[in-house]
Amino acid sequence: MMPDVTSDSTKLRPWSGDRAPASWGLGDGQAIPWEYAPAPEGRDVVTLKDRYGLFINGREVPSSDGAVFPTVNPATEEKLADVSRATPTDVDRAIRAARRAQRKSWGTLPGRERAKYLFRIARILQERSREFAVLETMDSGKPIKESRDVDIPLAAAHFWYYAGWADKLEYAFPGRVAKPLGVAAQVIPWNFPLLMLSWKIAPALAAGNTVVLKPASTTPLSALLFADVCRQADLPPGVVNIVPGPAEIGMHLVSSPGVDKVAFTGSTGVGKLIHRAIAGTDKAITLELGGKAANIVFEDAALDQAVEGIVNGIYFNQGEVCCAGSRLLAQESIVEPLIEKLKDRLSTIRVGDPLDKNTDVGAINSRQQLEKITELVAAGVAEGAELYQPNCELPDRGYFFRPTLFTNVAQSHRIAQEEIFGPVLSVLTFRTPDEAIEKANNTPYGLSAGVWTEKGSRILSMVRRLRAGVVWANTFNRFDPTSPFGGYKESGFGREGGMHGLHAYVRLEDR
């Protein structure tokens, strides 16, 4: 039988949630003299429709067979709306619309005209940011303070950034002529729905491509609200098409002979299926897949700052982040104080209603994902790792999981090897920089890593030896549209963001 890791019956330390952590200096176990008042973000900025259609050729249309699927608020398990489920016929129609737009309108526009549309989209996203933030939180379960302060501003920033490149392609690729690839098929996941949409649509459009995008089935609403932004920006019909639907629809889209470029973000397993499906074609492809990042803390690091970075690295977005710092590698000499500080900090993390502005950890995106996290945490306990969870109260309904910390973890444990995609941190130790590198690189993935040390020379030497596409030094989970992002090994290939992200959407020819 699997150990029950979600109930209070496990070997948990007593929670100190209404008691002051020792670091506050109020005396051991002294009651905190205040409580957070509820601070719910208003839902009234969002007008939910009962039913959302597909977005094809600039119009909202029902699916060809009339079928719909529900999208659910993971924090309450309530249905938010029905969404039209695209059929292969609908996808083909969207691809034809995208092709027409690429040939007749978008592909023939000068870069400075394309830029105006992208600037307009960026501005509208900013103007409607609160509406997007609330809708994203309701559909995905992420805390409002993250959708409000991270997802939506960064999504707009990607449109600003790539708008700036649209009329400067000759400077981005000096001496070459950058031509669009044509129609891009884009499949995105549920962890950063609007942000992943912007990572994919903004560079594609800047370079003169048109797109057909399939959002994840659990989070289609922000993509469908983005369709409204396209209409508001007067984007020519067919430049952006959005076709929600199940996995088979994603496969039909990427396999279609009508698309020239495939961009996928999601699990490594599906990335492999897609890669196989298009093998032998001349489609361009970028794959951004899973990760199992090491966050490496040396003994000379500023420990309090490192604790904040570790918390941000693994509990941000409930740990449902491909580049999450899910493995903490702590130098042996400081592991004990570091773990003490971490446990202390965990007791102050607020889990609950994602629409409450005080919430740090919201709802897990789906029941299926919650089951996957629960199963892997149970495997960690069964394999002998030591579990710590603050005993915070979880809401009665919805898909919630306590922030979790595992010590006594061996390199061979599943929790040290597999991507959990949840708020679960596995702590390992090392003695020397060589051992840290050995352990950090000992994973099939290679997406990101973090290094905490006061020594600049050590940062440079670690960065050179870590097999990870992104390495943060004395910080974690920082994103910027100017900076490329992508992986090695089973984390995929190709880069999104920055000029590298533009490169993935152009064919370079000699002058």
User: What is the binding site for ligand NDP (CB under 6 A)?
Assistant: 187-191, 214, 216-217, 246-247, 250-251, 254, 265-267, 270, 273-274, 288-290, 322, 369, 372, 419, 421
Whole-number minimum distance, CB 312 to ligand NDP, in Å?
Answer: 17
- The phi, psi pair for 155, rounded to 5°, reads -60, -45
User: What burial letters (b/e) apply to 304-320, b meaning 16+ CB within 10 Å?
Assistant: eebbebbbbbbbbbbbb
Whole-number minimum distance, CB 221 to ligand NDP, in Å?
Answer: 13
Both tokens assigned to 157: 């920033």
By beta carbon distance, the residue nearest ligand NDP is 250
Classify 25 in phi/psi space as left (phi over 0), alpha (psi -120 to 50) or beta: left
248 vs 386, beta carbon nearer ligand NDP: 248
Task: Indicate if 323 belongs to the active site.
Answer: no
273 vs 339, beta carbon nearer ligand NDP: 273
Task: Indicate if 288 belongs to the active site.
Answer: yes
- Of 161, 455, 112, 117, nearest in space to 301 by CA: 455
Please tell me the distance from the alpha carbon of residue 353 to that of residue 395, in angstroms, as a whole number: 8
Whole-number minimum distance, CB 387 to ligand NDP, in Å?
Answer: 20
117 vs 190, beta carbon nearer ligand NDP: 190
Both tokens assigned to 355: 């629409």
Q: Which of 230, 322, 323, 392 is catalytic?
A: 322
Task: Give CA torsion, residues 156, 146, 489, 420, to 10 deg.
Answer: -150
- Of 268, 321, 291, 266, nearest in space to 469 by CA: 291
Task: Give, to the nearest 10 degrees, the angle between helix 303-315 and helix 335-346.
Answer: 60
Contact yes or no for 37/360 (Cβ under 8 A): no
Whole-number minimum distance, CB 236 to ligand NDP, in Å?
Answer: 26
135 vs 322, beta carbon nearer ligand NDP: 322
Contact yes or no for 420/373 (Cβ under 8 A): yes
Whole-number minimum distance, CB 154 to ligand NDP, in Å?
Answer: 15
How many Cβ atoms are within 10 Å of 478's Cβ, its own excluded?
A: 10
Q: Write out the DSSP string of 108-129.
A: GS-HHHHHHHHHHHHHHHHHTH
Q: Which of 136, 146, 288, 419 is catalytic?
A: 288
Please tell me the distance from the alpha carbon of residue 265 to that of residue 260, in angstroms, as a whole number: 17
Whole-number minimum distance, CB 358 to ligand NDP, in Å?
Answer: 27
189 vs 203, beta carbon nearer ligand NDP: 189
147 vs 191, beta carbon nearer ligand NDP: 191
Please tell me the distance from the alpha carbon of residue 509 to that of residue 511, in angstroms, as a whole number: 6
Both tokens assigned to 196: 């992943």
Give me the active site residues, please. 288, 322
